[in-house]
């Protein structure tokens, strides 16, 4: 619990620095796009590969992708029902379903897990 108390302010501080740099004009739209690409295509995959490489994989971990697919399907079904109730137009419905089924949790989920538990447990805690 103490790790969480010390780690959360660090994440908030990093987000605040990014917001401040954007606010004062240090980062423009192209800078944000470059940072996004570095995180999505370089840093995050490297973190995942490093963490998984250090983990002892077993057959019992094979259930995790199935569980993830089941959760995504459940979210997709709930979002579809909500979208029909809200009478969303087709383009908006498609975007709504996409966002509901596939949360973009990699930005904070993987780094938070590594910060709290260390790199060696990311395959069992997140993947």
Please write the tens of the pLDDT for every residue from 49-102: 877 776 676 777 778 788 888 989 999 999 999 999 999 999 999 999 988 888
Band (6; pLDDT cuts 50, 70, 90): confident
**Three-state secondary structure string covering 35-85:** HHHHHHHHHHHHHHHHHHHHCCCCHHHHHHHHHHHHHHHHHHHHHHHHHHH
Q: Which domain holds residue 84?
A: 2-125
Q: Which residue has the higher pLDDT, 115 or 96?
A: 96
Query: For position 93, what pLDDT does the model report?
Result: 93
pLDDT tens for 25-59 read 887 877 778 877 887 788 878 877 877 776 676 77
DSSP structure class, residue 58: -
Task: Provide φ and ψ at 88, rounded to 5°.
Answer: -70, 145
Q: How many domains does the chain have?
A: 1
The whole-number pLDDT of residue 47 equals 76
Q: What is the pTM of this model?
A: 0.53
């Amino acid at each position: 619990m103490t790790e969480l108390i010390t780690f959360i302010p660090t994440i908030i501080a990093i987000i605040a620095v990014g917001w401040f740099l954007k606010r004062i004009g240090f980062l423009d739209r192209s800078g944000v796009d470059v940072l996004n690409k570095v995180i999505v295509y370089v840093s995050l995959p490297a973190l995942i590969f490093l963490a998984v490489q250090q983990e002892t994989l077993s057959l019992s971990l094979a259930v995790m992708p199935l569980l993830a697919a089941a959760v995504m399907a459940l979210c997709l079904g709930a979002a579809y029902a909500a979208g029909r109730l809200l009478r969303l137009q087709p383009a908006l419905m498609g975007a709504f379903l996409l966002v509901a089924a596939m949360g973009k949790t990699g930005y904070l989920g993987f780094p938070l897990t590594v910060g709290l538990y260390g790199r060696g447990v990311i395959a069992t805690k997140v993947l």
